[in-house]
Structure 1
Amino acid sequence: MRHRHLPERTMNNRLIAREPDVCDAALVETIASMLNCSQLVARAMIRRGVSSIEEARRFLNPMESDLLDPFLLPDMQVAADRVRCAIDDGEHICVFGDYDADGVCSTAMLVQRLRKMGASVEYYIPHRHTEGYGMSVDAVRTLQEHGVGLIVTVDNGVSAFDEIALCNALGIDVVVTDHHSVGKTIPECVAVVAASRKDSKYPNRYLCGAGVALKLIQALNNGAYAPEELALAAVATIADVVPLTGENRAIASCGLQHIQTLTGLSALLRAAGFNQARVDEMTVSFMIAPRLNAAGRMATALEAVHLLLGEDEAHADEIASTLNEYNQRRRDTEYEILEEAERQIQAKDQLGRAVLLAHESWNPGVIGIVASRLCEKYHLPVILFADQNGVLTGSGRSIAGVDLFENLSVFSHLFVRYGGHARAAGVTILRENYESFREAFEHHIEESYQPEDFYPSFQYDEAVSLGELSSTRVKELRRLSPYGEGNPEPVFRFNGVRFASLRTIGKDDKHFCASVVQADQVLRLIAFGKSELLEPLHSAADWDLLARPTINEYRGRESVELFWICANASEEKVAFFDAFFTQRLYNEDCSNDKLTEWYGSHGTHFQIELDDVAMRKHYRRLQSAVSEGAVPLLSLIRALQNEELLALCVFTQLSFFAYDPDTAQISQNSGCTPRTLGESSLYRMLNDRQEA
């Protein structure tokens, strides 16, 4: 088992440069000159997969012409023919959707298109809490009673084998359009339109559900589609976190321009308090998608579909207001679950390498969001369970390198059902099996992974100085948007910075702001939800910071501002002090030449006050730092000021502290012989340098 989460652990990050670390200089120069962009932007595109001028041009200027031929999708011709036949013959069609943002957008756009084509059409969205995901036997029988002759699924269907078999038996045809992973076989139905099929030749395997629905609309309409259909596909593409590259990038970028032409989405933005000049991917991620999702989480997703299909502004405002209230309830519920989860975590004597928690009052539609938050905070796999009538429904999130689905599969014999992928999964288990599963799963993770597997990893584009980020250069980075999966917002590394003017901000002091100082350059930094890091940032100097730059506009003035990603003790600092101990320069027989070489090569800017008062102060600080026993040297390097670390080197030479090379830990020597500072060769060398 491992200690409870500590601030120091959040400073133990792996900082990974995006590939290629060194970009082809000729390609960078050519892209920059031909497309009139900075080399910074050119390098960012190359690190996002661009390898030619034409690819760079499409990246910077995504167009609707980048959308692919819908008939490249498997079964698309058959699907389109069957839908047209149903319309011509007056068959009653049902669009069978899903309760998330992708599902409701898919449903609304296809229903609207079929209505325009004169179809007799209804739509069905299963209730998240009473029916669950996808088609069900009860839903199929209900649709039979409604006289449905053709079901077209959107954002679901590839795993509905039993339900589609029932449809076949009842004489109901099914056309599946879906984007989820397809197994070795597909359901036996009229058509399965999915880029994820094993036999698919479609170049873009990562369409979302609404992306596939848009392709069906194109197939039904001679390749054309309406602006509002593209807008809904854009919302779903961003909300469902599919890669924003290639065709998806074109859908998102072009569709964003039409979002405010939809009555329902405009009403939703008004209800959310949107007051910006343009809608971007952040607007979708933080305003539109949460409110569309809230309908399915807190009530029924049908209300979200009603909003998207409506054309009466007053009625749209009413529904939007309701969705806004649902979203606030979702946030309140999320906060309550998070508080209870944190209480359970704090009640544990130790925190292992996985977090599994359960409670009977938790909303199963919200626990996934909270699991994601806890996973991000503790950097551990987290599964939260809602206990309802003896059945626990769990939603889990994991970190890179710890495959949640694969690890859950070990215990599949204990589950009613489970599914998911490496980073997110769902599981249903009977209450009587929960405790044995929890203990076994925690032990399995403990035994299967090493401590370093749980160090947070963060990617950055390149190392730059604060002075390189002018307002003009930072604004130009927006040409790389829309940002999302596959096209992350640029993050930069700033080496050897220090933090000044640190203070908490916001409600409950959960956030902080600071001045980042590097040489003679200073930029303001904002860190959301990271106030627990103030103490280590106050107490130590010299950090390697990862942050993303943005433009802050205030009273007509623009300035560059940084948003916190993470920070480590600077690599130079770690290497310098680590070398003193690993090279055993603390030994009394260490020559002055070795000490001089060590200090001269790295540490000439690491200074220390050598008078007795200052050294006593450092000694007391060091005693406090190791008061509870041996402490990893790396933790001390990260937590202490440079002058305190130099003092540690001196006091280790004097045997007041001891270094264990086998464990790389520092401990205090009890009952050591009194000695003078002058007996340390390092102290004498530092003193001689200062006097010189």
Structure 2
Amino acid sequence: MIQSKKRWQIERPDEQLVEQLANDLQLSTMLAKILVARGVTTSEQATAYLHMDETNLHDPFLLYGMTETVECLKQAIKEQKQITVYGDYDADGVTSVTVLTTALERLGANVNFAIPNRFEHGYGPNKDYFEQLHTEGTEVLVTVDNGISGIEEIAFAKSLGMTVIVTDHHEMGEQLPEADAVIHPRHPKGEYPFGELAGVGVAFKLASALLGEPPLDLLEFVAIGTVADLVPLEDENRYAVKEGIRRLRRSKRPAIKALMQVSGHEQEALSEETIGFTIGPRLNAPGRLGDADPAVHLLKSKDEQQAMGIAEELNELNKERQHLVKEIAKEAEEQIQIRYGNQVPYVLVIEGEGWNPGVVGIVASRLTEKFYRPAIVLSIDHETGLAKGSARSIEGFDLYKELSKNASILPHFGGHAMAAGMSLEIADVELLRSNLNEQAKELLTDELLQPKLSIDVPLSLHEIDIAAIEALELIRPFGVGFPKPVFLLEQLETASVRKIGASKDHLKLEMADGDERLDAIHFGAGALADEMAPTIKLSLTGDLQINEWNGRKKPQMLVEDIKCDEWQLFDYRGVRDPARWLPLIPEQAAFVAFTEEAIHHFTPFLKDVPIQLIGRDTLSPVDSIVLIDLPQDEEQLKSAIGSSQANRIYLHLYVHDSMYFEKMPDRQQFGWYYSFLKKRGSFHLRDQMDMLSKHKGWKKSTIKFMTKVFYELEFVTLENGEITMMEPAEKRDLAEAPSYKKRQQQIKLEELLLYAPYQDLKKVFNSLRKIEAVEEEKLWI
């Protein structure tokens, strides 16, 4: 048995709907399963998903306040008033700034941009910065990706005499800012058909309204901001990202080419994952560490040399950000180990002096991922007496709701169920830690504290081929609202198992179902190879991709999680040197012997590891058991298997003197030897055994054994090596002799356990474990 790392939650799409969709649209069943699992169940719906175009974009004037905003900005352009686009310092913010400033420039506007510094101004609208912008000549202020919660700040900007337009997509409070116009896809007075635009999506709608048509070339930036901000990839978001990625792959923009070059990625293969893990982090990096302006300058650059210089700068900042995250995460984990050891609490509240507030959110994500606990990471500033930080959560613990219960000690906090930011007095950190853990104790069950893996695309091997995997491109992009499929392969045989990599720390499997084969790679799981017995059946989850090597393409699975529901039998019977198999035994395994002789033999190899003797020691239930020698009878083996209830059984079955190849002397041999002794009357075994052995071609051990049987049956006496017949001898069966019985039983045990093929051996242990009913003829003696 191999336990999965996560709690698998399997949803199976309706097979009838899958078949109908596959037949109607000539799709692979893999593609049809993904669509049905995502709620796309009719041919019409599927066609709409597969063939999106510009008509998927809604009329921007459906947004409340758009008409007034366009009129206001066009008048400002006409009068050449100074327009400042005020953005946010993340990837959504800088792409929003890029989209709107580019559109305004195309209309001849006098436009610049401003982005607050995370450390100097904080998030969103800032009075001091607004006053500075006004002093520098700003007459019209347009916020993008922020502003909806800046009630006081927007009022202050208005009091300075500036025209203020707010465009945002974040959650609205009960009160909206009193700006000249507020554009929000979920405006309470509006009826816009799609409310999940990213900040850059809102900026794009404004740009479209200003220009009179959608500036499709700017969808490159919309795709980046939308993916990076983790908004649902549904409705027009989906089209914007799909079309944006298509354009990004062939983009001539110096910024895109430079970002791909410095990150070492192929532009032609760019995907939503490239945006999420490569482009997004580099655009986020400057705003996390200081001034975000370089990210905008890069995106707007028209000079390849300039773009490459900025891209390299952002790449170095991203490396610095990664280093900071690594160092803070290391300190945080050390703090957790010192404070809690192996007893990790329900909620982690970790603080450190001087930790960079720009990266603590990433560290919180790392801690949540590693420990699967809600995590709050706080940066301590003793000069101000404040702790500022970010939090990430798990299913079942609504961060915003639970933090709200501590509002008395949290003067500033905000967020949603899964992520939040906050600041509080340093003196209140311990109280927050205590309160949240008490609250979590009432909410988080053992089940909720095990990470969940949602699986919705079970497959058979015959459904997987190159064409089916390549066709996945038709339904990309994957993301929030349309998650990347997690494929499931169930109960497949392992044709081969091996460790790969320089350090042998990765696992490569060849899975089989009849004649079908599929390679599977599980990175970082090389140790699992030692837990996999021959012919084991595995269930795997993960992603499918195409592996191309020397011009040949093969499907393969990148494994995310793996499990085996059956018990396992590990066969080390033929490996005489213990040094070759002992390192493969789990640390907590129980070593079991059936004879004192085996304990004496193995004690030098096992050193301080105790060996339990069946019949003497009480064997408790364990996950793994090692049978180091051959049992003397069936009952001993039943006792070991029944008492241990082990899921992993390791067999060595040491035998000092094997009887299997010696065989049992037949009755003809016993008869001749008996007649021989009777004729002789007496026979000196020690002096004359060599001659008898040569005469009959018998081994000396055979002669000794037959002599012992006759002695036990009282056919002969034995004194000082001389055998004397007894008269008259009572007629008795050979099987009555204890040594005959013991040898007969050992031969059968060796045949059954020591020399049986692996599959026959597993059947024996299956019957002992009562895992499957054995209806065939009885296997036991």
| TM-score of the two chains, using structure 2 as the length reference | 0.72
Judging changes above 3 Å, is the alpha-carbon distance between structure 1 residues 165 and 519 closer, same or farther for their aligned structure 2 residues? same
Question: What secondary structure, in the 3-state scheme, does the structure 2 residue paired with 1:484 have?
Answer: coil
Judging changes above 3 Å, is the alpha-carbon distance between structure 1 residues 368 and 201 closer, same or farther for their aligned structure 2 residues? same
Cα deviation, residue 45, structure 1: 1.0
**Which piece of structure 1 moves more, 254-263 or 136-145?**
254-263
1:80 maps to 70
Which string of whole-angstrom CA distances, capped at 9 and with x for unpartnered residues, describes residues 188-233 of structure 1? 1112111133444222211100000000011111133141x11100
Partners of 2:544 and 2:558 within 8 A in 1: yes
Task: Please tell me whether residue 340 in structure 1 is matched to residue 334 in structure 2.
Answer: no
From 455, 477, 481, the counterpart of 1:486: 481
Which string of whole-angstrom CA distances, capped at 9 and with x for unpartnered residues, describes residues 538-591 of structure 1? 899544321111111122111112122223443xx4xxx8xxxxxxxxxxxxxx
Task: Please tell me whether residue 97 in structure 1 is matched to residue 92 in structure 2.
Answer: no
Question: What secondary structure, in the 3-state scheme, does the structure 2 residue paired with 1:111 have?
Answer: helix
Judging changes above 3 Å, is the alpha-carbon distance between structure 1 residues 381 and 78 closer, same or farther for their aligned structure 2 residues? same
Partners of 1:158 and 1:176 within 8 A in 2: yes
- Distance, in Å, in 1 between the alignment partners of 2:201 and 2:261 is 26
Judging changes above 3 Å, is the alpha-carbon distance between structure 1 residues 32 and 683 closer, same or farther for their aligned structure 2 residues? closer
1:230 maps to 219
- Distance, in Å, in 2 between the alignment partners of 1:395 and 1:503 is 39
Partners of 1:93 and 1:150 within 8 A in 2: yes
Judging changes above 3 Å, is the alpha-carbon distance between structure 1 residues 640 and 129 closer, same or farther for their aligned structure 2 residues? farther
Cα deviation, residue 536, structure 1: 5.8
Amino acid at match of 1:549: L
Judging changes above 3 Å, is the alpha-carbon distance between structure 1 residues 240 and 546 closer, same or farther for their aligned structure 2 residues? same
Cα deviation, residue 465, structure 1: 2.8
Partners of 2:38 and 2:482 within 8 A in 1: yes
- Distance, in Å, in 2 between the alignment partners of 1:212 and 1:40 is 35
Partners of 1:540 and 1:641 within 8 A in 2: no
1:670 maps to none
Judging changes above 3 Å, is the alpha-carbon distance between structure 1 residues 517 and 97 closer, same or farther for their aligned structure 2 residues? same
1:127 maps to 117
1:17 maps to 10
Question: What secondary structure, in the 3-state scheme, does the structure 1 residue paired with 2:442 have?
Answer: helix
Cα deviation, residue 689, structure 1: 3.8
- Distance, in Å, in 1 between the alignment partners of 2:132 and 2:625 is 67
**Which piece of structure 1 moves more, 258-267 or 108-117?**
258-267
1:4 maps to none
1:375 maps to 368
- Distance, in Å, in 1 between the alignment partners of 2:315 and 2:586 is 57
- Distance, in Å, in 2 between the alignment partners of 1:113 and 1:22 is 44
1:327 maps to 318
- Distance, in Å, in 2 between the alignment partners of 1:353 and 1:538 is 36
2:509 maps to 515
Which string of whole-angstrom CA distances, capped at 9 and with x for unpartnered residues, describes residues 577-627 of structure 1? 8xxxxxxxxxxxxxxxxxxxxxxxxxxxx879999x99xx99997547999
Partners of 2:5 and 2:561 within 8 A in 1: no
1:36 maps to 26
Partners of 1:237 and 1:252 within 8 A in 2: yes
Task: Please tell me whether residue 304 in structure 1 is matched to residue 305 in structure 2.
Answer: no
**Which piece of structure 1 moves more, 537-546 or 419-428?**
537-546
Partners of 1:153 and 1:176 within 8 A in 2: yes
1:503 maps to 499
- Distance, in Å, in 1 between the alignment partners of 2:14 and 2:70 is 45
Judging changes above 3 Å, is the alpha-carbon distance between structure 1 residues 360 and 29 closer, same or farther for their aligned structure 2 residues? same
Which string of whole-angstrom CA distances, capped at 9 and with x for unpartnered residues, describes residues 403-425 of structure 1? 12212111121113111111111
Judging changes above 3 Å, is the alpha-carbon distance between structure 1 residues 416 and 540 closer, same or farther for their aligned structure 2 residues? farther
Partners of 1:381 and 1:396 within 8 A in 2: yes
Judging changes above 3 Å, is the alpha-carbon distance between structure 1 residues 99 and 651 closer, same or farther for their aligned structure 2 residues? farther
Partners of 1:540 and 1:640 within 8 A in 2: no
Q: Which runs of 5+ in 2 are unaligned?
A: 577-581, 593-608, 611-617, 628-633, 647-744, 750-764
2:145 maps to 155
Which string of whole-angstrom CA distances, capped at 9 and with x for unpartnered residues, describes residues 30-66 of structure 1? 4334433113212211221224322211211221221
Cα deviation, residue 353, structure 1: 1.8
Judging changes above 3 Å, is the alpha-carbon distance between structure 1 residues 82 and 620 closer, same or farther for their aligned structure 2 residues? closer
Judging changes above 3 Å, is the alpha-carbon distance between structure 1 residues 534 and 111 closer, same or farther for their aligned structure 2 residues? farther
Cα deviation, residue 96, structure 1: 0.5
2:306 maps to 315
Judging changes above 3 Å, is the alpha-carbon distance between structure 1 residues 38 and 542 closer, same or farther for their aligned structure 2 residues? closer
Identity percentage of aligned residues: 33
- Distance, in Å, in 1 between the alignment partners of 2:468 and 2:428 is 57
Matches within 5 A, 1:163-312: 163-227=153-217, 229-259=218-248, 260-312=251-303
Equivalent pairs, count: 618
Partners of 1:127 and 1:296 within 8 A in 2: yes
Question: What secondary structure, in the 3-state scheme, does the structure 2 residue paired with 1:525 have?
Answer: strand
Question: What secondary structure, in the 3-state scheme, does the structure 2 residue paired with 1:258 have?
Answer: helix
1:412 maps to 407
- Distance, in Å, in 2 between the alignment partners of 1:421 and 1:343 is 28
- Distance, in Å, in 1 between the alignment partners of 2:440 and 2:167 is 37
Which string of whole-angstrom CA distances, capped at 9 and with x for unpartnered residues, describes residues 494-551 of structure 1? 2224665343648x88x62321534455433333456686776689954432111111
Amino acid at match of 1:443: E
Judging changes above 3 Å, is the alpha-carbon distance between structure 1 residues 37 and 414 closer, same or farther for their aligned structure 2 residues? same
Judging changes above 3 Å, is the alpha-carbon distance between structure 1 residues 324 and 42 closer, same or farther for their aligned structure 2 residues? same
Which string of whole-angstrom CA distances, capped at 9 and with x for unpartnered residues, describes residues 461-510 of structure 1? 2322334312222222232211111222222212224665343648x88x
- Distance, in Å, in 1 between the alignment partners of 2:181 and 2:295 is 28
- Distance, in Å, in 2 between the alignment partners of 1:198 and 1:394 is 31
Cα deviation, residue 298, structure 1: 2.3
- Distance, in Å, in 2 between the alignment partners of 1:351 and 1:12 is 17
Cα deviation, residue 365, structure 1: 1.3
Higher RCO (CA-CA < 8 Å; seq separation 6+):
1
Partners of 1:161 and 1:188 within 8 A in 2: yes
Partners of 1:108 and 1:308 within 8 A in 2: yes
- Distance, in Å, in 2 between the alignment partners of 1:641 and 1:622 is 7
1:55 maps to 45
1:460 maps to 455
2:395 maps to 400
2:377 maps to 384
- Distance, in Å, in 2 between the alignment partners of 1:317 and 1:237 is 24
Partners of 1:70 and 1:223 within 8 A in 2: no
- Distance, in Å, in 2 between the alignment partners of 1:298 and 1:189 is 31
Task: Please tell me whether residue 690 in structure 1 is matched to residue 779 in structure 2.
Answer: yes
- Distance, in Å, in 2 between the alignment partners of 1:39 and 1:480 is 13
- Distance, in Å, in 1 between the alignment partners of 2:309 and 2:507 is 39
Judging changes above 3 Å, is the alpha-carbon distance between structure 1 residues 530 and 132 closer, same or farther for their aligned structure 2 residues? farther
Cα deviation, residue 294, structure 1: 0.8
Partners of 1:102 and 1:208 within 8 A in 2: yes
Task: State the Cα RMSD in Å.
Answer: 3.8
Which string of whole-angstrom CA distances, capped at 9 and with x for unpartnered residues, describes residues 50-103 of structure 1? 243222112112212211111111211122121112112222111000000010
Partners of 1:181 and 1:197 within 8 A in 2: no
Amino acid at match of 1:172: M
2:544 maps to 549
- Distance, in Å, in 2 between the alignment partners of 1:456 and 1:137 is 43
